[in-house]
Amino acid sequence: QVFVHRNMANIVMPYDVNLMSCLQYAVDYLEVQHIIVCGHYSCMGIQAAFNKENFASPLENWISHIRDVYRTHLKELEKIEDPMAKRRRLVELNVIESCRTVYQMSIVQNRLKQTDPVQPFATPRIHAVVYDVADGTLK
Ligand SMILES: [Zn+2]
């Protein structure tokens, strides 16, 4: 069974009350063992952030988080010459950064501390996944 929350460009922000409510319900009440942050290649939200165009609020505010990811990984991304490959890597980095944000949330940290020490790994485990809409593969 999968409990799903979706938003534009799979951005994880602690001030997103919808996302935080879903996460709290999944972790505290459903006691999920795994959290998957799934992005996808050819994401128009990533594409919008990748372009230098300044959108009006609230879209500009939302995708500014992806531009923050770009700035954080500027050295790596600037080495990629192919624009398509660069956008694909930005999709992956956005998922990784979203996973880091999930990991740092108190809802998740509190559950991790409660994991029975005899278990092989603390739960919930967080997985970074990218879906390729072109061929249906998960990376
Ligand atoms: Zn998308």
For residue 125, what pLDDT is reported? 95
Assess if residue 52 is contained within a domain. yes
Helices and strands (H and E) in the chain: how many: 6, 2
What is the CATH number for 76? 3.40.1050.10
Distance 46 CA to ligand 1 centre (A): 7
Number of domains in the chain: 1
* Residue 87 CA, ligand 1 centroid: distance in Å: 12
User: What pLDDT band is residue 73 in, cutting at 50, 70 and 90?
Assistant: very high
Q: What is the pLDDT of residues 25-67, one digit of tens each?
A: 999 999 999 999 999 999 999 998 888 788 889 999 999 999 9
Q: Kindly tell me the burial class for residue 25, based on how many C-beta atoms sit within 10 Å of its own C-beta (0-12, 13-18, 19 or more).
A: middle
Which pLDDT does position 12 carry in this prediction?
A: 94
pLDDT at 41: 96
Asked whether residue 38 is domain-assigned, the answer is yes
Say if 2 falls within a structural domain.
no
Q: Which residues contact 128 (CB under 8 A, 6 or more apart)?
A: 37, 92, 95, 96, 98, 99
Ligand 1 geometric centre to CA of 83 (Å): 17
Dist. CA 116 → ligand 1 center (Å) = 37
pLDDT tens figures, 92-124: 999 999 999 999 999 999 999 988 778 778 889
From the annotation, which residues make up the binding site? 40, 43
Distance in Å, CA 34 to ligand 1 centroid: 22
29 occurs within a structural domain: yes
DSSP type of residue 8: G
Residue 75 lies in a domain: yes
* Residue list for the binding site for Zn(2+): 40, 43
Does 1 fall in a domain? no
Q: Quick check: is 137 in a domain?
A: no
Paired tokens of 34: 């795994």
Q: Which secondary structure element, helix H or strand E, spans residue 34, and what is its range?
A: strand 34-40
| Rounded distance from Cα 112 to ligand 1 centre (Å) | 29
Distance between CA atoms of 123 and 57, rounded to whole angstroms? 37
* Residue range(s) defining the domain that contains residue 26: 8-131
CB 138 within 8 A of CB 131: yes
Distance from Cα 64 to the centre of ligand 1, integer Å: 15
- 3-state SS, residue 43: coil
Q: Is residue 136 in some structural domain? A: no
Residue 119 vs residue 74, higher pLDDT: 74
